[in-house]
Amino acid sequence: MTFYELYLRSFYDSNGDGLGDLQGLKQKLDYLCDLGIDYVWLLPIMKSPAFHGYTVSNFFEVNPVYGDLKDLRETLQEGHKKGIKFILDFPINHVAVTSEWFQRALRGEEPYKNWFIWANEKADLEEKRHWDESKIWQKIGDRYFYGIFGPASPDLNFESKELWDEIKRIFKFWLDNGFDGFRLDAAKHIFDFDIEKMRFHYQHEKNIEFWKEMVSYIKSIKNDALVISEVWDAPEIVRKYEGIFDIGFNFPLAEDLKMTLKNESPQDLVETLKKCMTEYLPNGKVLSMSGNFLTNHDMTRILSDLKDVGKVKLGFSILYTLPGIPFIYYGEETGMKGIPVDVNFTEDSQEPFHWYENGFGPGQTEWKGYKFNPPYSGESVEEQINEKNSILNTIKNLIKFRKSNPWIDDARIEILNFDQNMVKLRCYSQLNEFIAYYNLKSSKCSVLLENGEELLSIGNNKVTQGYVELSHYGVYLMKKS
């Protein structure tokens, strides 16, 4: 399986208003099919006052800038006909201050007033969240509410079982409208506040209880629905949630793999795989599948981070030859750039997708200017589609290889060897295997090959007399005879 994280506003515009929309996605499903995508992960499309959609004002309504429920159903149905499934990003930790729930809570209405956390005499109104200096208490009128993600985002109080029932209704609504599963935003934050002590505190046991019940409910509605979790934390915290969800995003792998590529260090790659892919080593046990990715909407885009097309290709080559489930963020396949820089930071990594060399043409989104990806920068589909060694065609080839070898999803890995230049890795199942050679350096290196056939070659690699000369950041896959 290959997943494509898609920000609808930036993708393809069907009506000329400059904003990507559902009908635009429908018109470009063939592009995603040609790329080889199995699942589209749609960033939030519910009604929201925010450009990013993560503060929802109505969970039962499509954001009007994207279309309506009819547009949604048509798009999902057409995608299903083409073999593409759809995952909805589901941000339920908090809502928008403009949401009906919060407005009714402010008026003291039941049950809504109990769906939020209000400061009392125990609360320290100066308390800050642990990863920066932002306050967790937000003032509205003469009251304070708990909002760890800012004054526009009041957190929901999941101590209320009535709220659990309402969340189930929302899950059912979107499944009934054609979605094939959910990506659960900020999954570790559902219970991140201690009501008794009135302070910020992760309560992983309560989180796990909540998510077990929700996942069970989702599966009771659609037994093959996929549930993906975002638990952005250290490996020991991530592992607490294994076995609850079908797929868990492997944030440690993403961070460590990028550092490995920056350092051009074979030893770092070996240590990264041992630390972040433990479950896939020979004696490992997989409880939830590893969601493997390089960047997402909250991060600096990969080419802006690595600053080298060769390293980007190497990064994706490693990603697509590891077990687990690979994810790609829209625009990464053409080398789009973007760096989160301010309070609306994700906006700078969510620029319009480049369809055309000059930045203009049918369906081109124009909701914001090109800060990182100007026209004629080589980052458009038009410029790359016929260039054999472009990032686009490299990723197409990697996805094609992956789709031809679905056994890799559940495979195991064994590190066979590494030296100052490269890492040699075996990926295997009971019936299949391949050997991968990764050159981590900007210079060529020569490697003795075992007898066998070539499966995939990324880079200007040359095979002669039992050796392969790996080009800079080159990758070579072979099957032993």
Which listed residue (74, 78, 185, 357) is catalytic? 185
Cα–Cα dist 32/179, whole Å: 17
Q: What angle do CA 69, 75, 79 make, to 5 degrees?
A: 145
Cα–Cα dist 294/449, whole Å: 29
Cα–Cα dist 61/429, whole Å: 44
**Which tokens go with 309?**
């097309």
Cα–Cα dist 45/53, whole Å: 6
Within 13 Å, how many C-alpha atoms sit on residue 325's CB side?
22
Distance (Å) of CA 73 to CA 146, 330, 395: 36, 22, 29
Q: At what angle do helices 391-404 and 309-320 cross, to 10 degrees?
A: 10
Distance (Å) of CA 418 to CA 159, 173, 277, 462: 51, 51, 17, 20
Active site residue 255: no
Question: Distance from CA of residue 415 to its chain's centroid?
Answer: 27
**DSSP state string for 32-85:** HHHHT-SEEEEPP-EE-SSTT--S-SEEEEE-TTT--HHHHHHHHHHHHHTT-E
Question: If we measure between CA atoms, which residue out of 330, 235, 329, 213 comes closest to residue 288?
Answer: 235
2 class by beta-carbon count within 10 Å (0-12 exposed, 13-18 middle, 19+ buried): buried
**How many C-beta atoms surround the C-beta of residue 414 within 10 A?**
15
Which listed residue (155, 230, 264, 348) is catalytic? 230
Distance (Å) of CA 460 to CA 389, 440, 469: 9, 14, 9
**Which tokens go with 314?**
């190497």
Residue showing tokens 């005879």: 481
Question: If we measure between CA atoms, which residue out of 245, 328, 234, 297 comes closest to residue 54?
Answer: 297
Residue showing tokens 């798009």: 75
Distance (Å) of CA 168 to CA 24, 32, 98, 205: 30, 31, 22, 20
Residue showing tokens 């007898």: 451
Active site residue 68: no
Within 13 Å, how many C-alpha atoms sit on residue 279's CB side?
21
So which residues are the catalytic ones?
A: 185, 230
